[in-house]
């Protein structure tokens, strides 16, 4: 199969859509970034917009601008501000009282240790280290990641530094690349043709002699191709099966491993009880697993049959993600097509008994569970 080329942007986009600037209510207190989980971080990043609202009203539809200039939100990005940042800021002209307060608690009362005039970082650090003082930095969003702007796929944009500033930082997060309907169609069409050619002799008939030597395709050839495409569309509407080619595999290969606190090796080391025939099991990290039916990647063209493939991102390396040295091999398992119903049972169940899997023998049932457990994709509950 030819390797898909990534389509280049044409620059021809729909007219601009006004950004929505949400009203931020201060009564609920300041928002903070949440690093406890990917979902929690995303929710805090777009707050006060709700996740459901974002995907319903803005995702792939129109831009969203969230401005955090309200003083009530001054601590929103406090997790991104460090003492070391003050060194550079002091050189830009900070003043005691207006920008910084140095204070400490003495006998239950606040004592201000401010000097006069400009703040010098060495003095600030001395008070911090020797006097154990607290440094209160007012409105850090004046100098740090103040706004969040989302715009849909294909929006042409340019980052610009506001007048009067030597520099500014723009953090661009790209997502959902190579996930358009066009990409999905390119990925799916080969599977449709594979099935049709197996069952319909017309798809296996030879093309007209010398067709490939002609500069322009003949009218008869275009009619035949149009008829084949209509046949494929009819087959697709009447079937629940759709062979995937590369898209699911690429998704698993290029995805970050699951969010995990602690030793990352735990994601690639089986844990818990060994599954047996009478065990109740369920999938682990389901959001990081894809299941697909594909032509056998190891078979010859003449004997190529279908196999069930499971790909996952558990063993992907976080430290090299999108660093120019992407994974060259996908992590996962391959099973005979006879295992597809049993795998769907596991996939669609919150928990299931190994002995209830739709396989011919108990040995096959236990072997399937053990294979998934060894790959850290299954746990006994």
What structural domains does the chain harbor?
14-74+144-176 (no CATH), 82-140 (no CATH), 181-237 (1.10.10.1500), 247-380 (3.90.930.40)
> Could you tell me where the DSSP H helices lie in 115-211?
121-130, 181-199
Closest CA to 134 of 167, 111, 164, 168: 111
pLDDT tier at 290, thresholds 50, 70, 90: very high
Q: What's the pLDDT at 159?
A: 67
Distance of CA 16 to the CA centre of its chain: 26
From CA 345, how far away is CA 357, in angstroms rounded? 7
Residue bearing tokens 């990290």: 285
pLDDT tier at 216, thresholds 50, 70, 90: confident
pLDDT tier at 30, thresholds 50, 70, 90: very low
The answer on pLDDT for 283 being more than 60 is yes
Instruction: Please give the structure tokens belonging to residue 81.
Output: 């501000």
pLDDT tier at 257, thresholds 50, 70, 90: confident
pLDDT tier at 170, thresholds 50, 70, 90: low
The answer on pLDDT for 326 being more than 80 is no
Give the pLDDT confidence of 82-115 residue by residue, as tens digits: 667 788 888 888 889 888 889 888 887 888 999 9
Q: What's the pLDDT at 88?
A: 84
Range from 209-223, 267-281, 320-334, 347-361 carrying the lowest mean pLDDT: 320-334
Give the pLDDT confidence of 129-146 residue by residue, as tens digits: 888 788 887 765 456 576
- Beta-strand ranges (E) seen in the chain are 64-67, 100-106, 109-112, 134-137, 147-150, 280-283, 289-295, 306-312, 331-336, 352-353, 378-380
pLDDT tier at 179, thresholds 50, 70, 90: confident
Range from 19-33, 200-214, 282-296 carrying the lowest mean pLDDT: 19-33
The answer on pLDDT for 305 being more than 90 is no
From CA 126, how far away is CA 123, in angstroms rounded? 5
- Helices 340-348, 362-374: axis angle to 10 degrees equals 60
Question: What average pLDDT does the segment 348-355 reach?
Answer: 95
From CA 314, how far away is CA 335, in angstroms rounded? 19
pTM metric for this prediction: 0.64
Higher-pLDDT residue of 355 and 86 is 355
From CA 232, how far away is CA 144, in angstroms rounded? 54
Question: What average pLDDT does the segment 150-162 reach?
Answer: 78
The answer on pLDDT for 218 being more than 60 is yes
């Amino acid at each position: 199969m030819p390797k898909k080329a990534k389509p280049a942007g044409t620059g021809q986009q729909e007219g601009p859509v006004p950004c929505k600037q949400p009203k931020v209510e201060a009564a609920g207190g300041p928002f903070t970034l949440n690093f406890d989980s990917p979902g929690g971080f995303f929710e805090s990043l777009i707050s006060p917009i709700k996740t459901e609202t974002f995907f319903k009203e803005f995702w792939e539809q129109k831009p969203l601008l969230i401005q955090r200039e309200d003083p009530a939100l001054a601590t929103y990005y406090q997790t991104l501000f460090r003492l070391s940042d003050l060194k550079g800021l002091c050189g830009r002209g900070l003043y005691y009282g207006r920008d910084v307060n140095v204070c400490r608690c003495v006998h239950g009362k606040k004592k201000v240790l401010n000097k006069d005039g400009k703040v010098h970082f060495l003095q600030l650090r001395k008070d911090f280290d020797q006097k154990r003082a607290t440094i209160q930095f007012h409105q850090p969003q004046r100098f740090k990641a103040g706004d969040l702007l989302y715009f849909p796929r294909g929006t042409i944009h340019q980052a610009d530094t506001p007048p009067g500033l030597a520099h500014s930082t723009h953090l661009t997060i790209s997502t959902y690349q190579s996930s358009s309907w066009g990409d999905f169609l390119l990925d799916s069409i080969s599977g449709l043709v594979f099935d049709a050619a197996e069952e319909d002799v017309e798809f296996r008939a030879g093309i007209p002699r010398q067709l490939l030597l002609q500069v322009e395709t003949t009218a008869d050839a275009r009619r035949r191709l149009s008829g084949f495409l209509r046949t494929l569309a009819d087959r697709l509407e009447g079937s629940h099966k759709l062979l995937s080619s590369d898209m699911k595999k690429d998704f698993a290969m290029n995805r970050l491993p699951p969010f995990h606190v602690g030793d990352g090796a735990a994601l690639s080391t089986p844990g818990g009880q060994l599954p047996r025939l009478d065990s109740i099991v369920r999938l682990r990290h389901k959001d990081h697993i894809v299941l697909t039916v594909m032509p056998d990647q190891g078979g010859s063209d003449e004997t190529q049959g279908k196999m069930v493939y499971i790909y996952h991102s558990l063993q992907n390396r976080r430290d090299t993600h999108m660093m120019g040295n992407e994974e060259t091999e996908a992590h996962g398992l391959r099973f005979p097509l006879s295992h597809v119903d049993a795998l769907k049972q596991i996939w669609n169940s919150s928990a299931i008994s190994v002995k209830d899997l739709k396989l011919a023998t108990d040995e096959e049932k236990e072997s399937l569970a053990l294979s998934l457990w060894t790959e850290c994709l299954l746990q006994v509950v």
